[in-house]
Amino acid sequence: MKNKISTSLVAGLLIATNLYSTDTLETITVTSNAIETDEKKATFSTEIYTKKDIEISKSKDIYDFLASQTSVNVMPNFGNKFSQSLDIRGYGLENGNQNLIVNVNGRRLNNIDNSPQLLASIPLESIEKIEILKGSGSVVYGDGANAGVINIITDKKNSNYIKTYLGNNTSKGGVVSLGYGNEYIIANAYVDYSSTDGSIEDINENKDENYIKNKNFSLVFTPTESLELSLGRTYSNMNTKYGNPITLKQFNENPNKTSSLTEQYFSSYVTTVGARYDFNPNFWIDANFSDEDKKSKFVNFNSESKYNYKTLSSTINYKDNMFKVVAGIDGFDGDKKENGNITTKKNKAAFTSVELNATEDLTFSTGFRRENIEYEYKPQGNTNLKKDHYINAYDFGVNYVLTENQSIFANYNRSFQSPNIDMFFSKDYSNFPLVSIKFNDFIEPSKVQNYTVGYNNFQENNKLKVSLFRANLTNEMFTDPNTWESTNIDKSYKYGFELYDKFLINENLFTSLNYSYIISKIDRENEGNGAYNGKKLPGVSKHNLTVGLGYDFYKFSTFVSHSYKSSAYALNDFENRFSQKQKHYHSTDLSLTFTHKNLEIFGKIQNLFDQNNGIWVQDDGIYPVNFERTFYAGMKVSF
């Protein structure tokens, strides 16, 4: 069966050792946009990282990798390291995750409320490839794909190894990975654990300790050459404590101290079932279903929310030398239970996407999606409240191959974001502790017109991607800090420049670079009586850079990376008037690895130069993040 699950192991940025055994860069097949496409011929902006890119970074977890290696802006969500905010193309740290779809093997990780996607439940070692689509993806992924899509593909067959590490602040972790496969069956088991005693202390000398436990079991059965069946079960449990914001004086003198800690517990249990049938090499159908039970509990406040998410997707696919087409349906049914009240959000959609190779050098693509979103609020003892929307998405793209190594592309994408349930309800606290909740009728879905043009240059020793983009937004959603009610920005826009480069200097020395220049502005916002007009969106850095340098000698390999983000307005500063701005961000990481046969010994220092970083949410309201030097070392044994 051909291309059943993407298992591309093509190396992106590799070196000539027994672990990284190639000294050339090759184009990679992009699978995230439903139609498989060579990245050189893609009609949209892409950023792709392979398993060996992940291995060479020696990142501690997926958040660490995204923050230090990619163009994704990653910061702990109000100090929470397990549930971090994600942003690309200037949607801001507060709402960026709502405008970005994150998928794992086709399962949507976005929540129906304001909570960021829980990437901590994905063990980094299990990831085969990460594909980032920027300014595209709305036809296939729908609601929320305004900025783009992060598609994470895990191993089809696990490697067999044991890994363990220790670090400062009594950090420790371990991984056991087992995989077995033959002509008919692939069976995997994976256990991942990490914990730390923390370094931030409250007035009662409690520390921000945390732990995370992930377990995964999966089975792929191929009874015939044409049929593939899959079944998986994932368990995640995590507990974290994080500090309240501190003043600028405290931040500069001792960021390790806070007034109190917030303790939060997460659990997630996911069952996935999938099937694919190939009628012939050019025609196949597939279907996937997932069921997730998730719980979030704030221990300090004895507040608990329970979620149940069901996702179903199915596509029918056809391809030949000139023409590729996919048509599909998908559905999402999510509910949240909190304080006896139940809120549901249901998405149902149909879509089709087409790619036409008009000539050997000219490729066109187009797609259309129609989606229905329904909300229902079921308060105890009151009448149910309902609302729904019908929204369309479009995509048009073209790619022209200039030479064997060069191509240009242009893409227009219309996307949308419906309100999450926290934004869709207005809360009246005038009779507190009785809180009345009603549908927030003035909240409208946001709609975005994305324009991207780009240039690709792929050589044996260099991979260069350059793109220019602009996004025109109608009804961009945000929470007004003056009223704490969610509302719309009538008109806003974003534009910028993106540069992505991987360069093999020689067989032992290589570099990587990711830079983005982003301007994000509010054009018109009526609710603020014009106070926000012409202002920059808070939490968006103009300059964002990650750069890396690797060198190999004998059985050793070393990699140093640096991440930089320029200063920005504090998260709630929509009027751009706070006396304190978000400080620029600097962090340098250094790793060293020794490899001999099946043994790997590694170590990494994060924030090498002990930079004092934080997230500003207001004047004298700062969450310290990555504010001190940390380190860990360990070993990995393969068998």
Domain boundaries, the chain: 29-638
Spatial separation of the C-alpha atoms in residues 238 and 123, rounded to whole Å? 13
Spatial separation of the C-alpha atoms in residues 608 and 606, rounded to whole Å? 5
Strand-pairing partners, residue 230, are 220, 274
Residues 6+ apart with CB under 8 A from 184: 221, 222, 223
The pLDDT score that the predictor gives to residue 163 is 96
Spatial separation of the C-alpha atoms in residues 381 and 77, rounded to whole Å? 34
Spatial separation of the C-alpha atoms in residues 62 and 211, rounded to whole Å? 15
CATH code, 29-638:
2.40.170.20
- What is the phi/psi pair of residue 125, to 5°? -65, -20
Spatial separation of the C-alpha atoms in residues 77 and 97, rounded to whole Å? 10
The pLDDT score that the predictor gives to residue 21 is 35
Name the stretches of the chain with pLDDT < 70: 1-24, 380-383, 426-439, 441-442, 527-528
For 240-283, the pLDDT digits (tens) are 999 999 999 999 999 999 999 999 999 999 999 999 999 999 99
The pLDDT score that the predictor gives to residue 18 is 33
DSSP track, 283-317 = EEEEEEEEEEEEEEEETTTTEEEEEEEEEEEEEEE
Strand-pairing partners, residue 565, are 544, 585
> Can you tell me whether residue 98 is helix, strand or coil?
helix
DSSP letter, residue 9: -
CB of 397 closer than 8 Å to CB of 43: yes
Omega within 30 of 0 (cis) for the link into 433: yes
The pLDDT score that the predictor gives to residue 12 is 32
Spatial separation of the C-alpha atoms in residues 218 and 214, rounded to whole Å? 13
Spatial separation of the C-alpha atoms in residues 300 and 435, rounded to whole Å? 20
Write down the residue that tokens 């003056």 correspond to.
482
Two structure tokens written together for 84 = 């971090």
Write down the residue that tokens 């392979």 correspond to.
50
Angle (CA) 237 240 241, round 5°: 160
The pLDDT score that the predictor gives to residue 2 is 38
Q: Where are the alpha helices (DSSP H) in 58-131?
A: 62-69
DSSP track, 605-637 = EESTT----EEEEETTEEEE-S-S-EEEEEEEE
Two structure tokens written together for 29 = 């097949």
Write down the residue that tokens 């998410």 correspond to.
309
Spatial separation of the C-alpha atoms in residues 190 and 98, rounded to whole Å? 30
Element containing residue 526 per DSSP (H, E): none
